[in-house]
Chain A
């Protein structure tokens, strides 16, 4: 892997984002709206409950972590879509760039964009609603790490899907976080779900993060085994997603789809 090629992919994203309000704004705008919305909902819920229960770290914190996951996933897919929209695949893949260098570039671009979103969310949630982010302590690190790896995995998987099915498949990508959210237990314990949904939930890394988050807020500890399972699942997901992307890329090269990408199929 040549760092200069990875750098080229990241630099292109940086230049595209820096020069465009339409790209900078979504990096934090939707996440900020979510924080504001859930900040007020958390405050309102506090009115109906016994003194001492603070919904801000429960709901607002959960929204912050969940939005971080979405930013990570979309950071990868948006960087990929830039090449879809500018019909750049032929130019890119006719260079020495390898698939692993390209995907690494997309992921590093996402690190930058999701970090901006996270910083804005923490700032807003803390300043406007008093979210005690420090209360999560060091556990915030593995929580964020698991969500980051899972977000990257889903982002790579989504890119592979669009690479395989053509530009119109972009519309399959946007609802992916919404499809996962009922199983992730962002706002409720996994035990609330019916048995079959619990089975699905525990196959997804975010479930372990949000269960852990609630345990920390309740003053308990996070079982190390559960957190490790979440981490292993996220890592496995990343390997599977990378394998899927590489396989899809080989398919597009073999069938000629890569060279005629806008045709969406070679039949």
Chain B
């Protein structure tokens, strides 16, 4: 399924980031449509988090442009970020405030109109009712991940950036979260950019995947069809090939 027929909610064009002579992201272009979940895959150091950081406006690109709902992140940062939210295991909510208070703070920062109602909705959606008064620092890692996801949903974003959102969750909770995110995206017309190293998860949740290696997109397509197109038995095998032999995939296309 692709929402790209309409205007994409995220449009990335010619994105580059160099640290000295080292390219971290090297001319990446892609789009994410409304109600579309796009997987950003690749080995460690491929440039996934760097790309997400640039979309979030916390890292300045060396070149290229990023538009969220048509708004240029470089020139209309605040407006673009009102439409964007993210969750990542490396960015937990501050541990010294309760979950509910943290969510209210972030609701205010995102300019959410009815903060209390939106906080209640996010808490309910992620089954966090019993934890709403608990300080985030005392939550288990799985609960912290769900708390972070609640923060991402509280602003009712057009674009959701999820950097390994199920990394610390047990399989049952991870499945629940995938269902909830899928429901949220469909219900609110939100586009999702999802990174994961769990290829089973990617096949289950993503409408489309982008394989990133050495800062460049090597492959793009339907995660269920892509392995066969490249002579691999599974998405995991394809992932390993991207990680170990990126040149063969870049040059050779399908065997």
Contact = CB atoms under 8 A, between A and B. Distances in A.
A16 B97 contact: yes
B93 A95 contact: no
Nearest to B81: A96
Contacts of B77: 96, 98
* Residue picked from A15, A16, A20, A95, most chain B C-beta under 10 Å: A95
B239 interface: no
Interface residues of B, number: 36
Given A8-B105, A12-B105, A16-B97, A94 B111 contact: no
Interface stretch (B57-65, B123-131, B196-204, B207-215): B57-65
B20 to A, nearest CB: 9
A55 B175 CA distance: 73
B19 A253 contact: no
A170 B109 CA distance: 26
Interface residues of A, number: 31
Interface of B is mostly: mixed
Nearest to B94: A86
A91 B111 contact: no
Contacts of B84: 94
A117 to B, nearest CB: 22
Given A95-B81, A254-B60, A5 B95 contact: no
Contacts of A98: 77-78
A259 B163 CA distance: 14
A15 B97 contact: yes
A96 B60 contact: no
Contacts of A20: 96
Given A96-B79, A259-B58, 12 more contacts: A4-B111, A11-B104, A16-B96, A82-B96, A90-B58, A94-B81, A96-B78, A97-B78, A98-B77, A253-B59, A256-B53, A259-B53
4 shortest A-B CB distances, which residue pairs? A8-B108, A86-B94, A96-B78, A95-B109
